[in-house]
Structure 1
Amino acid sequence: MFEKLLLSATALRRHQDGPLAAERERYLQHCSDTGATYWSMRIKCNELLWAARLLDGDLKDGFDMEGLEALADRRMAFQSARTTRRRFIDVTRPWLRFLGWWNESVDNYEFQEKLDQYCLWMRDERGFTDSTIVGWRCRVRDFLIWCDVGNRELQLLWPSDIDAYFIDDVAHHWSRRTVATVAALLRNFLRYAASQGWCRSQLADAIRGPRIYAQESLPYAPDWSDVQRLLACTLIDAPQYIRDRAILMLLSIYGMRATEIATLRLDQVDWQQRVIRIFRLKRRQPQVYPLLPSMAEALARYIDIVRPSTRYPEVFIGLHSPQRPLTRAAIYKIVSRKFLNLGIEVVHRGPHALRHACATRLVADGLTLKEIGDHLGHRSTEATHTYAKVNLAALREVGDFDLGELL
């Protein structure tokens, strides 16, 4: 690997004869295999030689952040540029982790085993999706940390303690809907905890969240003209814009969820039949859509020109090393950044706003709620009823209806 990066015979000999040469070369080969660019590899190569020279003593016990920062201070003695310290840490830490020499800082809580057991139960017994488990785990973990910090033991909790938790978290500016969601998932966790003998059995039934009225809110969709502006801003011949255009079109035309895009695989796009098979998370079943010419062009352009060669089957891969499938959070950042850059004022700037825009557009085109629900992958028409409130044409017909003859 050194021969590919270093053209000078002197530099090549210096790196080959330096300490931990085999470990450095093995890591550089790994970076190359995962799509690192030539110039980023050159930077890694130089910084790793510094790291190998500065490392001393037995590394079997591993390295932690405190030790790495001390190493970075010694590195600064040779080159005090503003970016030297950050670059050294950013390059050395992944290398130590790759070699198994990095000690991850882990916050050990007494409840960790219980939380892991609860997550396994959600997966194996309830069949929750991975994304749901991750979200619920974070909420329950926050609650258990709050209990741990306040020296509150699960088996000694009273309903007043649960009330105190929600009162304390008012500072987080939870909406009524978020409070209702947290109350529901804590109720679920405490029922499971009671079944395991971790807390009082009546604790879960004492939790009462705020009442959420059906159809109390309007869909937070941007105007379709704003969606067109989002798509128009991606008409640039640059890798990032080519990828983002395909993502935005899947969100706004097919009404896909961010997780459905993150998990979309290459084999779900059937180029011969001109269809795209989407696994709808809520329905737990695949759904087949026609691959529209504009969508096919955007996807083909991304896959043929931009998408890196990788072992991952997912369609959307990160552009920078390590090149891994995009996460739901990454897709949120892509969409949110586009809204901010264009100055589009919306209640929510995430991918779900484009899903709402898709539904609102279908309402304006005269599709029935059943047809819209089927397009969005809703399990029941109740989930689609909120869009009836934005069907202005139908509402005007109701308003103009003369009831005089019926009285």
Structure 2
Amino acid sequence: MDDLIERYIQYLKYERNASPHTVRNYQSDLVQFRNFLAGKEKDAAVDVHSVNALRIRAFLSHLFHMEEKKASIARKLAAMRAFFKFLARERLIAENPAASVSTPKLEKKLPRIMTEEEMNNFLDRVAEAAQGGEPAILRDRAILEMLYASGLRVSELAGLDLRSVNFGDSFVLVRGKGDKERIVPFGSKAKGALEAYLPARERLLRETRTGCAALFLNVHGQRLTTRSIDRILKRYVLTYSPDVNVKVSPHSLRHAFASHLLAEGADLRAIQEMLGHKSLATTQRYTQVSIKHLIDVYDRTHPKA
């Protein structure tokens, strides 16, 4: 089974162009399943043909007993389904044993996001701090403005090159999941923040002589990592909006981007396109619109209201 897991991981990397995060999680999940099947003898060989729906359910039961979160268990099952689907397609097994295993029912709960007022106040305070011209703050302000203005995934933001940005028409060319490209616009504040950052970026490149094409650079002139962007966001929220009672992450800003656009009347399919979602249902889960807002829209637009 070990060789087949490795073969599938290579397929994810080089044929599906899956993100490093996805590859890492799927590999970890499949190895965990393999170790469960091996039992106490971790080095024992596991015959993939011995896997059936009953053994998969036993693994899920084990995870529930270990008090794993339902979302984590659902992801592990998704990894197994995809793995065995791949093996069946390659005719290495007769059928997918995970296909008949039901996914645990997940709680439909979205994290609270920063309101428009909280978001604007936060970014305004960062903009004031950036007026001092400190290169790191100029860069960080551009990152924060772009996260909220574009709704990009943190991996997409980190992956941007300078040439990805069209300053004339204010949009970025993004390479998203599955290596698919899309165009995402950004606003005047994000544009201003980027333009203020660029001279500092050029100076850094001259000093480090790395010639890195990345839009956002670390102090060594190399591409900024997703983990660094996450740390930057959390540090700035703690510094400039300490009273905001929200668990903030780059992903929560993506939720805020979608929800605030919808609240202002944006078309859901346009938001879907900007977020790079395959399914409209996924976009709907991202958006959080208050009951009061829905009532206001009804009162304004319904002829009998």
For the superposition of Structure 1 and Structure 2, which TM-score range results when normalised by the shorter chain?
Answer: 0.7 to 0.9
- For the 8 Å contact 2:233–2:250, the answer to whether it is kept is yes
8 Å CA contact retained: 1:265, 1:313: yes
- Segments of structure 2 that go 5 or more residues without pairing to the other structure are none
User: SS in structure 1 opposite 2:99?
Assistant: helix
Question: How many pairs does the alignment contain?
Answer: 286
Name the CA distance, whole Å, in 2 between partners of 1:392 and 1:280: 37
Cα distance, 1:334 vs. partner? 2.1
Does the Cα contact within 8 Å between 2:160 and 2:214 map onto a contact in 1? Answer: yes
- Pick aligned residue for 1:278 from 173, 185, 189: 173
Alignment of 1:7-406 (within 5 A): 111=2, 113-148=3-38, 150-151=40-41, 153-155=46-48, 156-170=50-64, 174-193=68-87, 201=95, 203-212=97-106, 216-218=108-110, 220-234=112-126, 235-236=129-130, 237=132, 238-271=134-167, 273-282=168-177, 284-289=180-185, 292-306=187-201, 308-309=204-205, 310-319=210-219, 321=220, 323-341=221-239, 342-346=242-246, 348-386=247-285, 387=287, 389-390=289-290, 392-395=292-295
Q: TM-score, normalised by structure 2?
A: 0.76
Distance in 2 of aligned mates of 1:311 and 1:351: 27
- Taking a change above 3 Å as real, the CA distance of residues 356 and 173 of structure 1, as seen in their structure-2 partners, is farther
SS, match of residue 178 in structure 1: helix
- The separation in 2 between residues aligned to 1:173 and 1:276, in whole angstroms, is 44
Report the alpha carbon displacement of residue 146 of structure 1 after superposing the two structures with TM.
4.3
RMSD (Å), alpha carbons? 3.5
Q: State, as a whole percentage, how many aligned pairs show the same letter.
A: 22
How far residue 331 of structure 1 moved from its aligned partner, in angstroms, is: 1.9
* Closer/same/farther in 2, CA of residues 130 and 198 from structure 1, 3 Å limit: same
Deviation at 1:198, TM superposition (A): 6.9
How far, CA to CA, are the matches of 1:149 and 1:335 in structure 2?
Answer: 42
Cα distance in structure 1, aligned partners of 2:267 and 2:172: 23
The one-letter code matched in structure 2 to 1:265 is D
Ranges in structure 1 where 5+ consecutive residues have no aligned partner: 1-109
Q: TM-score, normalising length from structure 1?
A: 0.59
In structure 1, the residue corresponding to 2:82 is in which secondary structure?
helix
1:380/1:280 CA distance change after superposition, 3 Å: farther
Specify the structure having the higher radius of gyration (Cα). Answer: 1
> Of the two structures, which has the highest relative contact order with CA contacts closer than 8 Å and spacing of 6 or more?
2
Aligned residue number for residue 100 of structure 1: none
Q: Separation in 1 of the partners of 2:145 and 2:66?
A: 34
In structure 2, the CA distance between the partners of 1:141 and 1:278, relative to structure 1 (3 Å rule), is farther
CA distance in 2, matches of 1:355, 1:391: 21
